[in-house]
């Protein structure tokens, strides 16, 4: 901990404020700021070394700034580590000039090689502004000209010093100039460090884009992308969603897994083996969480080739997360990154309007939820309402277990990414201590489906048929398959495992398949279902052999969940999607909604 008392720090900052207000030029302001740092960090050797490095960085040369047909060399007022500071006498008068200088320094530094990892600051020592390159700048960074570089102010990255906010100023400069103290995980900080404007996102997106261009020709990657588009087409009404959005969602999925591991372990250093197990999800079962990850649309990054090519991006996420403390997290920290990145090009097209934490808490406070109450959010988004329900249950029942919490809170969403984000939100809310104490693995009940629609043909469960589609092939199944959700899930597990085992070989016969199913689910399915369940195995085997598997088991296990879960809940809470009937672009979906509206 810092040895300088808070009172002394505030006194030094108040004196600094008076000095800077009276200073008549840029140089005297810089000297006053350096003097302040030396005073408030006087007894901290690690800080004084950084301050010395800052001094050595004065008028630091930055090479390779492309200007016209030549490269020029500029001199930043201060450059040390990855921080560039442009000092001004009065930011109100010369703020645009400072911004232009920072754009040049950023471009020159980036063109000199390496990833983007800069903190760009303009200040007159009273007002401090953090700038970041726009997302559009990095989309075209290989061909962009200096005049096309756009900097924008970091959200939450502006501070104006006054006589009364000295303590806040100390934490501001500590965060942006030094970053030696563990940061408390807040929605604002997580969004700054992992959201659209962050170096972590920008570098990760760049690597994902380059690698995706190399692997999108492969069948499994194609299927992931195609099915992701299909699910979002229902909601967005945009038939050809761009690859960039898919890559943003992939980044968020990886980030959610990395955050979940950090919360569960407090691991200071993640080695390569742990990193690979986080990405493929296998490590979470050893941490007492059964289903945090699935072979979903974003699981394409787990292949040996993809992991090798993207490892440096994964590691940068891990290193940034290691700067945080996740003890006593009291807000939905994932919400900021989720809403910041979820639909960059189509914001609000899903009808998503994010509910602030205070409103979730006010609504849930009025609900007479008990320890054994089951609660559903049928359009859960990042999981804010679910997190609030868990907080209420934990506060009112001090002996409640992780499994009691997990078993009584359910979420469903049509957005492919929401499932992973909401599961991670639930994990953070339950907390590592309760999860570690649990006598059996914790299952997180969040599913990908459309809660408005009952699947075709499931309206009559007395011997009718319904059509199940696996990678464009349609299979007629008996509707009684859907009477037992445990049977359906186990049949999918066995079908997937046998399809993998018989890959490129002769298919097992129906009797062998059913016998394998009975081993894992001893309650024998009635004979009329044998043919239907066997067809699922054949369908999965065909997709694997055509190189177009990886997500079909996940899709099938999720799409029928609303049917299995009907009439199980004591409470339904949430903020449903807000959009008009006319804004739905898919004609057959529009017809189904009209029929539902008329019937209700």
Beta bridge partners of residue 65, listed in sequence order: 72
Task: Count the neighbouring beta carbons within 10 Å of the beta carbon of residue 147.
Answer: 10
pLDDT at site 283: 92
Do 504 and 550 belong together in one domain?
A: yes
Q: Higher-confidence residue: 595 or 130?
A: 130
Do 12 and 154 belong together in one domain?
A: yes
Do 22 and 100 belong together in one domain?
A: yes
Do 516 and 423 belong together in one domain?
A: no
pLDDT at site 60: 52
Q: What is the pLDDT of residues 412-446, one digit of tens each?
A: 988 878 888 899 999 989 998 999 899 889 999 99
- Residue 439 forms part of a structural domain: yes
- Residue 596 forms part of a structural domain: no
381 three-state secondary structure: coil
Q: What is the pLDDT of residues 202-254, one digit of tens each?
A: 889 989 999 999 999 888 888 888 878 877 776 566 667 788 889 999 999 99
- Residue 257 forms part of a structural domain: yes
Give the pLDDT band (50/70/90) at residue 276: very high
Angle, to 10 degrees, between the axis of helix 219-236 and the axis of helix 243-265?
A: 100
- Residue 193 forms part of a structural domain: no
pLDDT at site 124: 93
Phi, psi (rounded to 5 degrees) for 149:
-70, 125
Do 406 and 533 belong together in one domain?
A: no
Total domains in the chain come to 3
Do 442 and 341 belong together in one domain?
A: yes
83 three-state secondary structure: strand
For residue 43, give both structure tokens: 């007894």
- Residue 151 forms part of a structural domain: yes
Q: What span, in angstroms and rounded, lies between the C-alpha atoms of 50 and 56? A: 10
CA 362 to chain centre: 26
Least reliable range by pLDDT among 206-210, 269-273, 290-294, 468-472: 468-472
Instruction: State mean pLDDT over 289-305.
Output: 85
CA 383 to chain centre: 12
CA 473 to chain centre: 33
Q: Decide if pLDDT at 405 tops 60.
A: yes
Q: What is the pLDDT of residues 352-401, one digit of tens each?
A: 557 888 999 999 999 999 989 999 999 898 899 999 999 999 999 999 99
Instruction: State mean pLDDT over 92-121.
Output: 82
Domain that holds residue 151: 6-181
Least reliable range by pLDDT among 484-488, 533-537, 573-577: 484-488
pLDDT at site 525: 59
Instruction: State mean pLDDT over 138-146.
Output: 71
Please check whether residue 318 is in contact with residue 270, taking contact to mean a CB–CB distance below 8 angstroms. Answer: yes
Instruction: State mean pLDDT over 172-184.
Output: 74
Mean of pLDDT over the chain: 80
pLDDT at site 360: 93
Q: Decide if pLDDT at 30 tops 80.
A: yes
Q: What is the pLDDT of residues 556-568, one digit of tens each?
A: 777 777 777 878 8
CA dihedral 312, 313, 314, 315 (to 10 degrees): 50
pLDDT at site 527: 65
Q: What span, in angstroms and rounded, lies between the C-alpha atoms of 572 and 460? A: 25
CA 137 to chain centre: 22
Do 412 and 380 belong together in one domain?
A: yes
Q: What span, in angstroms and rounded, lies between the C-alpha atoms of 528 and 533? A: 10
Give the pLDDT band (50/70/90) at residue 191: confident
Do 25 and 82 belong together in one domain?
A: yes
Q: What span, in angstroms and rounded, lies between the C-alpha atoms of 447 and 43? A: 53
Do 209 and 344 belong together in one domain?
A: yes
| Residue located via tokens 């692997």 | 215
CA dihedral 16, 17, 22, 24 (to 10 degrees): 80
Q: 70 to each of 63, 108, 579, how far by Cα in Å?
A: 11, 12, 52
pLDDT more than 70, % of the chain? 79
Please check whether residue 368 is in contact with residue 388, taking contact to mean a CB–CB distance below 8 angstroms. Answer: no
Give the pLDDT band (50/70/90) at residue 142: low
pLDDT more than 90, % of the chain? 23
Phi, psi (rounded to 5 degrees) for 510:
-65, -40
For residue 467, give both structure tokens: 């059509």
Q: Please name which of 225, 283, 222, 228 lies closest in space to residue 257, comparing C-alpha atoms.
A: 283
- Helix intervals (H) in 455-548: 485-501, 510-520, 530-545
Instruction: State mean pLDDT over 323-350.
Output: 68
Give the pLDDT band (50/70/90) at residue 66: very low
Do 166 and 255 belong together in one domain?
A: no
| Residue located via tokens 């009439």 | 567
Q: Decide if pLDDT at 170 tops 50.
A: yes
pLDDT at site 4: 45
Q: Decide if pLDDT at 15 tops 50.
A: yes
Least reliable range by pLDDT among 58-72, 307-321, 381-395: 58-72
- Residue 55 forms part of a structural domain: yes
Q: Please name which of 336, 317, 346 lies closest in space to residue 381, comparing C-alpha atoms.
A: 336
Do 443 and 470 belong together in one domain?
A: no
Q: Decide if pLDDT at 27 tops 70.
A: yes
Q: Decide if pLDDT at 5 tops 70.
A: no
Which domain CATH number covers 115?
A: 3.90.1570
Do 431 and 538 belong together in one domain?
A: no
In terms of average pLDDT, the best of 55-64, 187-196, 328-337, 466-475 is 187-196
Task: Count the neighbouring beta carbons within 10 Å of the beta carbon of residue 259.
Answer: 26
- Residue 578 forms part of a structural domain: no
pLDDT at site 364: 96
Q: What span, in angstroms and rounded, lies between the C-alpha atoms of 447 and 420? A: 9
Q: How close are the terminal C-alpha atoms of the chain, in Å?
A: 61
- Residue 198 forms part of a structural domain: no
Q: Please name which of 171, 47, 53, 66 lies closest in space to residue 111, comparing C-alpha atoms.
A: 66
């Amino acid at each position: 901990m810092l040895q300088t008392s808070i009172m002394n720090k505030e006194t030094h900052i108040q004196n600094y404020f008076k000095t800077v207000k009276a200073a008549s030029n840029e140089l005297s302001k810089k000297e006053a700021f350096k003097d302040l740092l030396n005073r408030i960090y006087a007894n901290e050797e690690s800080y004084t070394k950084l301050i010395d490095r800052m001094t050595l960085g004065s008028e630091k040369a930055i090479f390779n700034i492309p200007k016209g047909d030549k490269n020029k060399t500029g001199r930043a007022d201060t450059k040390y580590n990855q921080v560039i500071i442009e000092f001004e006498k009065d930011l109100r008068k010369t703020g645009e000039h400072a911004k232009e200088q920072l754009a040049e320094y950023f471009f020159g530094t980036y063109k000199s090689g390496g990833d983007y990892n800069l903190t760009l600051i303009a200040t007159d020592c009273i007002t401090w502004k953090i700038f970041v390159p726009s997302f559009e700048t990095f989309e075209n960074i290989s061909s962009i000209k200096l005049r096309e570089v756009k900097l924008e102010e970091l959200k939450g990255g502006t501070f104006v010093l006054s006589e009364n906010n000295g303590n806040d100023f100390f934490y501001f400069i500590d965060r942006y100039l030094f970053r030696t103290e563990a940061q408390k995980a807040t929605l604002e900080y997580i969004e700054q460090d992992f959201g659209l404007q962050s170096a972590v996102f920008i570098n990760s997106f760049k690597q994902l884009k380059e690698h995706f261009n190399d692997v999108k020709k492969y069948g499994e990657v194609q299927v992931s992308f195609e099915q992701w588009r299909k699910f979002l087409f229902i909601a967005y009404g945009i038939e050809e969603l761009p690859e960039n959005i898919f890559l943003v969602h992939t980044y968020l999925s990886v980030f959610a897994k990395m955050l979940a591991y950090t919360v569960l372990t407090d691991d200071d250093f993640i080695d390569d083996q742990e990193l690979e197990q986080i990405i493929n999800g296998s490590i979470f079962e050893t941490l007492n969480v059964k289903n945090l990850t699935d072979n979903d649309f974003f699981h394409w990054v787990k292949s040996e080739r993809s992991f090798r090519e993207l490892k440096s991006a994964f590691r940068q996420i891990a290193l940034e997360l290691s700067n945080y403390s996740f003890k006593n997290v009291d807000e939905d920290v994932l919400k900021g990154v989720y809403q910041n990145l979820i639909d960059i090009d189509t914001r609000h097209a899903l009808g998503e309007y994010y509910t602030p934490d205070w409103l979730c808490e006010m609504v849930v406070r009025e609900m007479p939820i008990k320890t054994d109450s089951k609660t559903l959010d049928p359009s859960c988004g990042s999981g804010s309402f679910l997190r609030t329900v868990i907080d209420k249950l934990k506060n009112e029942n001090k002996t409640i277990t992780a499994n009691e919490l997990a078993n009584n809170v359910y979420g469903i969403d049509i957005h492919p990414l929401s499932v992973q984000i909401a599961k991670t939100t639930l994990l953070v809310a339950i907390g590592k201590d309760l999860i570690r104490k649990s006598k059996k693995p914790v299952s997180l009940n969040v599913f990908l489906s459309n809660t408005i629609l009952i699947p075709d043909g499931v309206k009559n469960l007395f011997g009718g048929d319904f059509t199940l589609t696996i990678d464009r092939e349609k299979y007629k199944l008996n509707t009684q398959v859907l009477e037992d959700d445990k049977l359906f899930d186990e049949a999918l597990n066995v079908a997937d495992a046998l399809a993998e085992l018989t890959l490129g070989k002769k298919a097992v016969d129906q009797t062998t398949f059913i016998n394998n199913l009975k081993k894992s689910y001893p309650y024998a399915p009635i004979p009329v279902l044998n043919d239907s369940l066997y067809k699922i195995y054949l369908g999965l085997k065909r997709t694997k052999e055509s190189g177009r598997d990886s997500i079909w088991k996940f899709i099938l296990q999720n799409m029928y969940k609303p049917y299995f879960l009907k009439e199980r809940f004591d409470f339904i809470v949430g903020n449903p999607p807000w959009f008009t009937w006319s804004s739905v672009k898919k004609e057959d979906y529009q017809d189904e909604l009209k029929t539902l509206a008329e019937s209700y």
